[in-house]
Amino acid sequence: MNVAERLGLVNRPRRLRSSAAMRGLVRETRVNRDGLVQPLFIVDGKNIVQPISSMPGVSRLSVDAAVRECRELDDAGVKAVLLFGIPDFKDAIATSNYDPNGVVQRAASAIKDALPHMLVIADLCNCEYTDHGHCGIIGPDGDVDNDASVELLVKTALTYARAGIDCVAPSDMMDGRVGAIRQALDAEGFIKTTIMSYAAKYASGFYGPFREAADSTPSFGDRRTYQMDPANGREALREVALDIAEGADIVMVKPALAYMDLIRRVRDACDVPVACYNVSGEYAMVKAAAQRGWIEEERIVDEMLTGFARAGADIIITYFAKEYLKRNA
What residues are labeled active site? 201, 254
Min. distance of Cβ 211 from ligand PBG in angstroms?
A: 6
Stretch that binds ligand PBG, among 91-99, 109-117, 121-129, 233-241 (CB under 6 A): 121-129
What CA–CA distances, in Å, run from 323 to 11, 78, 293? 39, 10, 18
Do residues 159 and 165 make contact, with C-beta atoms less than 8 angstroms apart? no
Q: Which of 285, 230, 289 has its CA nearest to residue 254?
A: 230
Side-chain-side CA neighbours of 310 within 13 Å: the count stands at 10
Determine which residue in the list 207, 308, 320, 324 makes contact with ligand PBG, applying CB under 6 A. 207
By CB under 6 A, residue 97 contacts ligand PBG: no
Stretch that binds ligand PBG, among 13-21, 123-131, 137-145, 294-302 (CB under 6 A): 123-131
* CB closer to ligand PBG, 77 vs 218: 218
Query: Would you say how long the chain is, in residues?
Result: 329
* CB closer to ligand PBG, 190 vs 207: 207
* CB closer to ligand PBG, 208 vs 233: 208
By CB under 6 A, residue 157 contacts ligand PBG: no
Pairwise CA distance, residues 181 & 159, whole Å: 12
Stretch that binds ligand PBG, among 12-20, 66-74, 160-168, 206-214 (CB under 6 A): 206-214
Min. distance of Cβ 72 from ligand PBG in angstroms?
A: 20
* CB closer to ligand PBG, 170 vs 312: 170
What CA–CA distances, in Å, run from 26 to 13, 16, 222, 302? 11, 7, 46, 18
Beta-bridged to residue 74, according to DSSP, are none
Q: Phi and psi of 299, rounded to 5°?
A: -65, -45
Q: Which of 168, 152, 172, 150 has its CA nearest to residue 226?
A: 172
Binding mask 260-299 for ligand PBG (x = CB under 6 A): -------------------xx-------------------
Counting runs of H as helices and runs of E as strands, what totals does the chain give? Answer: 12, 10
Secondary structure class of 61 (helix, strand, coil) = strand
Min. distance of Cβ 127 from ligand PBG in angstroms?
A: 5
Side-chain-side CA neighbours of 234 within 13 Å: the count stands at 0
Do residues 144 and 135 make contact, with C-beta atoms less than 8 angstroms apart? yes
Determine which residue in the list 98, 129, 202, 210 makes contact with ligand PBG, applying CB under 6 A. 210
* CB closer to ligand PBG, 19 vs 144: 144
Determine which residue in the list 69, 123, 166, 243 makes contact with ligand PBG, applying CB under 6 A. 123
Min. distance of Cβ 329 from ligand PBG in angstroms?
A: 25
Alpha carbon 209 to its chain's center: 14
Pairwise CA distance, residues 137 & 152, whole Å: 9
* CB closer to ligand PBG, 160 vs 210: 210
Min. distance of Cβ 123 from ligand PBG in angstroms?
A: 5
Count of residues interacting with ligand PBG (CB under 6 A): 10
Pairwise CA distance, residues 119 & 112, whole Å: 8
By CB under 6 A, residue 239 contacts ligand PBG: no
Determine which residue in the list 52, 61, 103, 125 makes contact with ligand PBG, applying CB under 6 A. 125
Q: Which of 94, 106, 84 has its CA nearest to residue 163?
A: 106
By CB under 6 A, residue 156 contacts ligand PBG: no
Secondary structure class of 276 (helix, strand, coil) = strand
Determine which residue in the list 52, 65, 135, 262 makes contact with ligand PBG, applying CB under 6 A. 135
Which chain residues interact with ligand PBG by CB under 6 A?
123, 125, 127, 135, 171, 207, 210-211, 279-280
